[in-house]
Chain A
Amino acid sequence: MSDFQRALRAIAALVPEGSRVLDLGCGDGSLLALLKRERHCSGQGIEINSEAIVSCVSKGLEVIQGDVESGLKALPTGSLDVVILNQSVQELRNVDGVLLDALRVGRQAVVGFPNFAHWSVRLQVGFLGRTPVTPGLPFEWYETPNLHFFSLKDFEHWCERRNVRIVRKLFLDGERRVRLFPNLCARDGVYLIEKRA
């Protein structure tokens, strides 16, 4: 099993069994397929990339080609259990708006993103004076699709500010779970969140 697949499994474990899910930026549908198969979820994806759409359809998944920001707007309030944003938040223009809208459409949301405060990132910025290129952030500054660079602490700060409760969280270094000093040692964070009543 690859790191990628292990990470997917870890994320899937955060999604309650049997949920109706929407995966925003679902890529080739690997996570959706896993959720369907092993967590008995029903679900659909939204994805912009044409080849990824062919992959999803060939896996028997429901997918709508379009961009995440407008795709979410079209959906009724409370129509889904869980909205998933796995490795797509950092590429959004309007992060705040989309995350809040995800919590409007879904009862809960799962958000996974690369941690910009990982030690390898800190070293490259601090000592080399260069924009970091890491396994989680594999792009040079001039070709990255990422618009936002934020850490686990930054995300938790956002939750605090927006009155969002963190139900569960999970820190990963590749395939490995991280328990100590996550903001320094985890390459990725995955959060299950919901709106505070």
Chain B
Amino acid sequence: MAVQSYTFDGLELECGARLGPVTLAYETWGTLNAAKDNAVLVLHALTGDSHATSLGLPGEEKGWWENIVGPGKAVDTDRWFVICSNVLGGCRGSTGPATPRPDTGKPWGLELPLLGIRDMVAAQDLLVTHLGIPRLAAVIGGSMGGMQALAWLVTRPERLDAAVVLATAARHSPQQIAFHEVGRQAVMADPDWADGAYYEGEVPARGLSVARMVGHITYMSDKSMAQKFGRQRLGHGAKFSFQTDFEVEGYLRYRGDSFVKRFDANSYLYITKAVDDFDAFDPPLKVRPTGQGPRVLVASFISDWLYPVYQGREIAQQCQQAGFATSFAEIESTWGHDAFLLETERLGRLVRGFLERPEERS
């Protein structure tokens, strides 16, 4: 389905400011049933968008979770009504720093109040209500999407039957914050960034591209990089230069350059800050009678050094202690953090089995 949008008055943000009006861009697949109890909200990662999957129409771009979401897939759109929206603070149709301010008509830039993961979820909650859905069958996401799933679980357990939390942490470690800070500093050190007021001139392309290059390194693993690139050189004559000598260099530059074309640098700053600031279990969860509330599935990937397995295990432990019926899986993969997008065979079976409603199991 084509990208749609929903605009509402606004919302109170975690930081205390009020932001409005707010628009969320979203896509849906499948059909909401008469009981309105088959809705699954898919939550995207740092730089994703509402296009989780495609309908395979001519010329239509593939979705970022095509292997998991679709007809007959793990999140089966023949069965579930699937919703995916671009996050608040994003730049793919939802309100973010590039959106014109209602009062001046000029882009918000750094005047946009700071946003949190819980704010993204509060906006999604309004969208879900707008779509006439009293209660979601599940929320599911990886990486920053996993954080949003956790935020749904801790702030709105009564609105969910299940949460799937993949390849993420309850809070960022200093190492994770550090990688984000390198990315932000790369953007902010670019003279074209102009304190965020670049919308009428050149975009800070060099800075944002470096930020994306660093990001990509953290999404891969030593092994997946060795398999993908080895020490292959790009054949352009000179043996040693500061051109792109190695394939991996060419790949990173390419990823950096193509990212700049589709992503707003200020959005990158706001969203990475929201991720760094998030702490799912602060304030601590109220302990509920065992087994009440949403079921929870947490999974981590073995070669993911950005969100190591122990962080997933901690999430599972906290959820369990809070009384949620919780399962935890660690999935073998050599893909690093990207595994939640690529290692879809076992993940798919796990998610499909988990989403099955308890009363519908044989």
A40 CB to nearest chain B CB (Å): 12
A20 CB to nearest chain B CB (Å): 7
Which residues of chain B come closer than 8 Å to A42, judged between CB atoms? 290-291
Which residues of chain B come closer than 8 Å to A64, judged between CB atoms? 313, 316, 320, 326-328
Which residues of chain B come closer than 8 Å to A65, judged between CB atoms? 328-330
Interface residues on A, range: 10 to 19
Q: Judge whether B228 is part of the interface by a CB distance below 8 angstroms.
A: no
| Count of CB-CB pairs between chains A and B under 8 Å | 53
The answer to whether residues A57 and B297 also contact, given A20-B290, A65-B329, A66-B328 and a CB cut-off of 8 A, is yes
A32 CB to nearest chain B CB (Å): 12
* Contact in complex: A62, B327 (CB < 8 Å): yes
Which residues of chain B come closer than 8 Å to A63, judged between CB atoms? 327-328
Which residues of chain B come closer than 8 Å to A62, judged between CB atoms? 325-327
Q: Judge whether B356 is part of the interface by a CB distance below 8 angstroms.
A: yes
Which residues of chain B come closer than 8 Å to A147, judged between CB atoms? none
Q: Judge whether B259 is part of the interface by a CB distance below 8 angstroms.
A: no
A152 CB to nearest chain B CB (Å): 34
Q: Give which listed residue, B326, B328, B356, contacts A60 with CB less than 8 A.
A: B356
* Contact in complex: A58, B325 (CB < 8 Å): no
Q: Judge whether A35 is part of the interface by a CB distance below 8 angstroms.
A: no
The answer to whether residues A50 and B331 also contact, given A57-B353, A58-B353, A64-B316 and a CB cut-off of 8 A, is yes
A75 CB to nearest chain B CB (Å): 9
Q: How far is the CA of A20 from the CA of B350 in the complex (A)?
A: 25
Which residues 313-328 in B have Cβ within 8 Å of A in the complex?
Answer: 313, 316-317, 320, 325-328
B299 CB to nearest chain A CB (Å): 9
Q: Judge whether A21 is part of the interface by a CB distance below 8 angstroms.
A: no
Q: How far is the CA of A65 from the CA of B350 in the complex (A)?
A: 13
Q: Give which listed residue, B320, B350, B358, contacts A54 with CB less than 8 A.
A: B350
A159 CB to nearest chain B CB (Å): 30
Q: Judge whether B346 is part of the interface by a CB distance below 8 angstroms.
A: yes
Q: Judge whether B261 is part of the interface by a CB distance below 8 angstroms.
A: no
Q: Judge whether B349 is part of the interface by a CB distance below 8 angstroms.
A: yes
Q: Judge whether A1 is part of the interface by a CB distance below 8 angstroms.
A: no
Which residues of chain A come closer than 8 Å to B181, judged between CB atoms? none
Q: Judge whether B332 is part of the interface by a CB distance below 8 angstroms.
A: yes
Which residues of chain B come closer than 8 Å to A111, judged between CB atoms? none
Which residues of chain B come closer than 8 Å to A53, judged between CB atoms? 327, 329, 350
Q: Give which listed residue, B291, B350, B361, contacts A59 with CB less than 8 A.
A: B361
Q: Judge whether A128 is part of the interface by a CB distance below 8 angstroms.
A: no
Q: How far is the CA of A20 from the CA of B323 in the complex (A)?
A: 13
Which residues 44-87 in A have Cβ within 8 Å of B in the complex?
Answer: 44, 50, 53-54, 56-66, 74
* Contact in complex: B346, A60 (CB < 8 Å): no
B59 CB to nearest chain A CB (Å): 37
| B327, B328, B331, B361 pick with most chain A CB within 10 angstroms | B327
* Contact in complex: A57, B327 (CB < 8 Å): yes
Q: How far is the CA of A66 from the CA of B320 in the complex (A)?
A: 15
* Contact in complex: B290, A60 (CB < 8 Å): no
Give the residue name and chain of the B residue nearest to A64 (CB): B328
* Contact in complex: B361, A60 (CB < 8 Å): yes
Q: Judge whether B354 is part of the interface by a CB distance below 8 angstroms.
A: yes
9 residue pairs, one from A and one from B, having the closest CB atoms: A58-B353, A64-B328, A60-B358, A57-B353, A53-B329, A65-B329, A62-B325, A57-B354, A63-B327
Q: List 13 A-B contacts (CB under 8 A).
A: A42-B290, A42-B291, A50-B331, A50-B346, A53-B329, A54-B329, A54-B346, A57-B327, A57-B329, A57-B350, A60-B361, A62-B325, A74-B317
